Amino acid sequence: MRRVLLVLIAAVMLIATAGWTYPPNKDIDTGHAAPPDIYWAIPSADVLIDAGHGGIDGGTHWGHILEKDINLAIARKLYLLLRSQGVRAVLNRTGDYALSDENRWHAARSRHRRDLSQRRGLSDEIDAALFVSIHVNWAARGGKGGPLVLHRNEGRSAILAAFVQDSLNRLQGRSRLPRGSAKLYLLNRVKAPSVIIETAFLNNTADREMLTSRRGQTRIAEAIASGIMAYRYFAP
Ligand SMILES: [Zn+2]
């Protein structure tokens, strides 16, 4: 009897670790292409990179230049940089689609709310050590430029923000301080140390040149990566 029980437990553990699920994924035979769900394969990560906006949500814009495309380009570069340094990074959006399209579990009417809850849901699901959301800024009054890192009002988030802000400041010749925010839904609901990185201003000419050039995007991604690496080295 005892042996049978042991075999049963072993079988259950084997099935669980093999990731066998029931009922099977309903998306398989719906006939239309589902967004890539690479994150389901990874139960934990060092850094969850959130490429801000996507799909019908373009974020801010300058003519035909859309924030969502810049965010995705920088997020992809950041992903590769972190991976190349042995950091287990996960990117929550690999193409141009809205995360609210994937969100079938939050009954909220507002697409924006569903989008945000999906982003937060992913960070719970993945159990990320850090949450980094990539965005582009826009100022109602011109003249503003440079990076701004927003963080959850909590110690580790503030330290992460300080490292990333400092790194981006040095790249862009600025001396701005990061800012805590109690208002942002995303930051308050994510449990891991979290920052929203406003990489630069789209309506600032010099910033825009950097944001829209390959070289500029690479340098921004490098600065963010070194900020994250510094945090990982120094923070408890
Ligand atoms: Zn944004």
**What is the pLDDT at residue 29?**
41
Stated pTM of the model: 0.74
> What is the CA(61)–ligand 1 centre distance, in A?
10
> What is the CA(67)–ligand 1 centre distance, in A?
7
| Total of domains in the chain | 1
Residue 92: inside a domain: yes
220-223: long-range contacts (C-beta < 8 A, 24 or more apart)? 220/74, 220/168, 220/171, 221/74, 221/77, 221/78, 221/81, 222/77, 222/81, 222/171, 223/164, 223/167, 223/168, 223/170, 223/171
Q: At residue 60, what is the residue type?
A: T
148: CB partners within 8 A, 6+ apart: 137, 165, 176, 178, 179, 198
Residues of the chain with pLDDT under 70: 1-43, 97-109, 111, 113-126, 184-189, 236
Residue 69: inside a domain: yes
Residue 194: inside a domain: yes
Q: How far is the C-alpha of 180 from the C-alpha of 98, rounded, in Å?
A: 27
Residue 25: inside a domain: no
> What is the CA(11)–ligand 1 centre distance, in A?
47
Residue 5: inside a domain: no
Q: How far is the C-alpha of 116 from the C-alpha of 112, rounded, in Å?
A: 6
**What is the pLDDT at residue 32?**
47
Residue 103: inside a domain: yes
Q: Residue 51 is part of a domain; what is its CATH number?
A: 3.40.630.40
Q: How far is CA 132 from the centre of its chain?
A: 5
Residue 20: inside a domain: no
Residue 127: inside a domain: yes
**What is the pLDDT at residue 210?**
98
> What is the CA(218)–ligand 1 centre distance, in A?
19
Q: Range of 177's domain?
A: 36-234
> What is the CA(23)–ligand 1 centre distance, in A?
36
**What is the pLDDT at residue 44?**
78
Q: How far is the C-alpha of 211 from the C-alpha of 9, rounded, in Å?
A: 54
> What is the CA(34)–ligand 1 centre distance, in A?
24
> What is the CA(12)–ligand 1 centre distance, in A?
44
